[in-house]
Structure 1
Amino acid sequence: MALYRIITSNKNIFLEYNRFRKKIFSQLAPRDSESILYLLPWMISVNHESVPGYMDSIKHNFRVFNIETDHEIRNKEPMFKKYFNIQSAAPILTMTSNDLLIEGIYTIGSAGTISQTPSSDCDIWICINRADYDSASYAQFLKKVHRIQNWMDDNLKMPVHFFVSDIEDIRRCSFGDVDCESCGSTQKKVLKEEFYRTTILIAGKVPLWWASYDPHSPLTYDGVAEEFQSSPSVYYDLIDMGDLDFIDKEESFGAALWQLNKSLTHPLKSIIKMLLLKMFLESPEGDLLCHRFRSRILSQDRKPYDFVDPSIFTLIAVLDHTRNLDRDTYHLIMQCFYLRYEVKLYSRRITLREEKTLPLFKTYDLDRKTIYDLNRFTDWSYSAQVQFGKTIFMLLVQIYKDISELARNVAGDVAPQDLTILGRKLSSSLKKKPNKIPILLRPLDTHNLPSLTVRFCEGGWQIFPGNESETIICEKSDLTYCLAYLVWNGLYFPELIRMLPNRTFATMPEMITLSKKIKKTFGTYDVSSIEFQNFLQPEHTEKMLLVSNFAEDPDTRSLASLRILTLNNWGELYIHSFPRPGRVISFLENLSKNPYDIEKFYYSPRNSRHGDKILEETKRLVASYLKD
């Protein structure tokens, strides 16, 4: 009976805390949170032709556990019916003994925390007992979820990602299909730790792990699970997702590898997660942050409860753990956290984010001058933002080196193909190679570029921001290279570029037209969009753009110069310049040895009076060595 009282008390506190998290979510994303927290479980649990997810000739209806007793969803059903233009007065949400249960729907990550920003997405686990579903019903369920996903993609601002998860897989920490951003061998207990620490129960059962705690006496998960299994009718609203005792050093190292990989596109997020992994490696085995967080939430014996945001709790833990770092590094970490959470203290508009974080940043001595400076980060000069991006990446590399030292000789448990993929992915982003367009590391998605100026100077081309002529973004003898650099790094905007007068044949209209062609052919650099399997293949060219006679005399009658831009399967862009066409032959001969098909695109300046003739000449030259 005592154990029953403990479990029941913990469950009730968790549900109260869960309402606190839902309230944060609702304040940060009023419209989208309504659809995710209430409309989603309702849509999954009904099967009406007007509701997204409808399945004709469905074998079993699907129903989220206990949704029929959820008063909030019940009360909102008339509004949902009106939204989908359902005229019937009869309830749509019904239950039968033949329904297949969804055990629970849960968020994982930043949703409903102060680290949720307008650019955040929402990862959702839809948990079932796979053994209860035959192959036909499971296929129908996946199709239903996919249709709801499509509807949400079209109607919500926040990107939502669904992961249908088997409870048994979660118990075993088997997340090969749950975390789409990693290979399965490096994300096991790390992902489960994040789930227990950050989850919101949207609808369904309370995780048993959250109820398996007693601040006054030892309470083992196995003991609670045994009680749970022996009295299923008593603990019917709990779900056994398995315990989490410790995280292996091998896994922390593997997860750090993937965070370093993600840092190429999301450095601020990665710093927090890599510092967290470093803390796991340096802490005693079993001293997990999710355990500390659960203790913080459940060790309250009277209302009103004082709940803490999980992101703030994590941030405090990391900052306390890193206090022994030198002052400059510690100060940089504080700045990264401030920018990552998109906080703007002491500003005119005070939101929930500022209310929750003001005491924290006061406690950890982020001075007002730095705060005001960070508040206007988007107005920093281009050079200052670039330098800050380099500083952040150097910090990431140092954290990774520290983790590698702590996890020495543990890489053997990381799948060899994962290491191969990561190594090649990092190489494609960071390694300098002849003729390769380099990648600009940046702290945020965009840089402050009020305008770009193109200047011809002493036989070469320079591009600099606005009137900051001393801050060179790109400098090369070949203008095509400079334009490719801008496009590839997402710095090119035709309305924000100007060219200073010069004596060359390059013109502003041709420069804009070529830049558009480069962007249409190759897009902009995005290492996260490259399929993992590409990095298991040998490096080979997939696309090429041949630029004939760019910035040449418009009266030139034949092929005088050729630039060839190539994109390989690892997402690397190269440019090869041939001032004399004769030198291109050996390049094409080597390219012809490529056993893979190559997409070919061509560009000839519009102001060329013999452009069509030159274009045909270029195509004949290429056809002599490369098949269509």
Structure 2
Amino acid sequence: MTIHTAPIALDFDEGIDRKTLRRLRDRFMAVNQHRWERARSALTYRQQAVLEVLPLVFHLNHPALPGYLDSDCPYGLSHYRPAEPTLNAARRLARTFSLKDEGRRKPDLEALFLMGSPGTLGHSVASDLDVWLCHRPDLSERGVHCLERKAESLAAWTLSLGVELHVFVFSAADWRAGRQRAEVTGENCGSSQHFLLLDEFYRTSIHLGGCYPLWWLVPVGDEDRYDECARQLVDCRFIRGDEYIDFGPAVSIPQEEFLGAGVWQLYKGIDAPWKSILKLLLIECYARGKGEPLLSRVFKAAVYAGETDPDRLDPYVLLYERLEHWLREEEAPDRLALVRQSLYLKAGLPLTRSAQLVAGWRTSLLQALVDDWGWTAAEIGNLDNRIRWRAEDVVVLRRAVVAELTHSYRLLSRLARDHGTRAAISSNDMNLLGRKLYAAFQRKAGKIEQI
């Protein structure tokens, strides 16, 4: 599929106009719609209701909708107007549901986003849904706790449909100020990463409702003066400030983040090694820093240049291309082979059993990559049939994976020492992750290795 439109140029020094800004926002929303449809297509018919009604259940505090706790819970998603398919999905869930006019009430919520692997090549049946729910900055502590409880109630409902949902509740103002509410849990990276997470958010997020990211409207070349451009857009009334949400720029990753982020990915690698290898190598690639822009900036520059093909903008494709370019330069063919294997296994699509697969965009995209790598049918078949591998072969692969994970971690540790940087991760989070990693990866006499 080739979808290419005319480039859009914004020059803050020469002058910008509202019409061009609207075209730009609409282009990002077109890319967003492609991703939303792809994310939806990966779910079963019953699970699709989750994606369809998620903005509505936060926009309304309706007793007939999932997640309802009490009448005091904050609600109202800024500038959100539910479309007919959303209302129909709500009626299928609750026959008593009807939409009432709330009048001109100030909304409590600014925006709702889905981020991570949904809508990408890396989205498998085992993938969860990570959602950012952004409330207005002056919401009371009681209101925030109520939203967190509602999020937990929703997660229980989605789990009954076979979807693992994680809703992270915070305000954009707290995010920009680096005020971290949560400690490390199974899904929350705590204090271990901020700008790395923002980079991932900007290149993977799907806007579900509310304000649009202001970051869309600041060209890559102007991100070094991001705050100045953002003020110009709002103060000179090129945009309505209340229609946009601002998480700040993602210009570069500070050295302090690499070590904590590396430990976090090691920890995640206990349960999801293929995804962690890809992410850990990207962190290493960023840490070695040779002037290459962050992937979020590559994504944004491509959209400005007119690229709207969802295959070309797929976050996992962009990630793979960066790692391939870097590892070829490093002359590291074994590491590149492991990256390819990790991407293939993360996608979770056994191509040798393609007759059983629904011929969709993920199958076509993965097949194109595999063809480009020159993999033989025997190589693909070996990976597809790893359930039948001998224990010895599994142990060999496991040790290769652990060696790769720990290699990257040691390199990040050395970089941190060489730069004399203090890790951004809190000592409490670091100790907690350290204990979990020690238990998982330490090899000692009498311990049975889990394979």
TM bucket normalised to smaller: 0.7 to 0.9
The residue that corresponds to 2:170 in the other structure is: 165
The residue that corresponds to 1:2 in the other structure is: 16
The residue that corresponds to 1:53 in the other structure is: 67
The residue that corresponds to 1:452 in the other structure is: none
Q: Which runs of 5+ in 2 are unaligned?
A: 1-14
The residue that corresponds to 1:494 in the other structure is: none
The residue that corresponds to 1:150 in the other structure is: 156
**In proportion to residue count, which structure has more strand?**
1
Greater shift after overlay, 222-231 or 418-427? 418-427
The residue that corresponds to 2:379 in the other structure is: 370
| Aligned AA (1:177) | A
Find the aligned partners of 1:200 and 1:322 in 2 and give their Cα distance: 30
| Aligned AA (1:161) | H
Find the aligned partners of 2:347 and 2:140 in 1 and give their Cα distance: 44
SS of the residue 1:103 aligns to: strand
**Pair member with larger Rg:** 1
The residue that corresponds to 2:77 in the other structure is: 64
Q: Percent identity?
A: 24
The residue that corresponds to 1:357 in the other structure is: 366
8 Å contact 1:18–1:201 — kept in the other structure?
A: yes
Out of 6, 17, 21, the position equivalent to 2:31 is: 17
Out of 119, 122, 142, the position equivalent to 2:129 is: 122
Find the aligned partners of 1:255 and 1:167 in 2 and give their Cα distance: 21
Find the aligned partners of 1:82 and 1:107 in 2 and give their Cα distance: 23
Counterparts of 1:271-350 in structure 2 under 5 Å? Answer: 271-284=277-290, 287-300=293-306, 308-323=313-328, 324-346=330-352, 347-348=354-355, 349=357, 350=359
Find the aligned partners of 1:241 and 1:76 in 2 and give their Cα distance: 27
8 Å contact 2:111–2:211 — kept in the other structure?
A: yes
Structure 1 residue 149 displacement after superposition = 2.9
| Aligned AA (2:437) | L
TM-score, normalised relative to structure 2: 0.85
The residue that corresponds to 2:117 in the other structure is: 110
The residue that corresponds to 2:107 in the other structure is: 100
8 Å contact 1:187–1:255 — kept in the other structure?
A: yes
Structure 1 residue 116 displacement after superposition = 0.7
Find the aligned partners of 2:68 and 2:206 in 1 and give their Cα distance: 26
Out of 398, 413, 421, the position equivalent to 2:432 is: 421
Cα deviation 1:29-52 (Å, max 9, x = unaligned): 143663333211112222333222
The total of aligned residue pairs comes to 429
Out of 238, 244, 255, the position equivalent to 1:249 is: 255
Find the aligned partners of 1:387 and 1:429 in 2 and give their Cα distance: 17
Find the aligned partners of 1:328 and 1:138 in 2 and give their Cα distance: 48
SS of the residue 2:334 aligns to: helix
The residue that corresponds to 1:191 in the other structure is: 197
8 Å contact 1:61–1:98 — kept in the other structure?
A: no
Structure 1 residue 12 displacement after superposition = 1.0
| Aligned AA (2:203) | R
Q: Which has the higher contact order (CA 8 A, sep 6+)?
A: 2
SS of the residue 1:130 aligns to: coil
8 Å contact 1:44–1:145 — kept in the other structure?
A: no
Q: Are residue 430 (structure 1) and residue 441 (structure 2) matched?
A: yes
Structure 1 residue 104 displacement after superposition = 0.9
SS of the residue 2:191 aligns to: helix
Cα deviation 1:125-171 (Å, max 9, x = unaligned): 1011131x2344444444433333332232x2120011111111222
Cα deviation 1:201-251 (Å, max 9, x = unaligned): 111111111221267x88842233112331386354221111122111221
8 Å contact 1:247–1:285 — kept in the other structure?
A: no
TM-score, normalised relative to structure 1: 0.63
The residue that corresponds to 1:227 in the other structure is: 232
The residue that corresponds to 2:9 in the other structure is: none
Structure 1 residue 198 displacement after superposition = 0.8
The residue that corresponds to 1:77 in the other structure is: 87
Counterparts of 1:469-488 in structure 2 under 5 Å? Answer: none
**In proportion to residue count, which structure has more helix?**
2
Q: Are residue 208 (structure 1) and residue 214 (structure 2) matched?
A: yes
Find the aligned partners of 1:49 and 1:369 in 2 and give their Cα distance: 55
Find the aligned partners of 2:155 and 2:101 in 1 and give their Cα distance: 22
Find the aligned partners of 2:325 and 2:180 in 1 and give their Cα distance: 30
Find the aligned partners of 2:309 and 2:201 in 1 and give their Cα distance: 26
SS of the residue 1:107 aligns to: strand
Find the aligned partners of 1:275 and 1:121 in 2 and give their Cα distance: 22
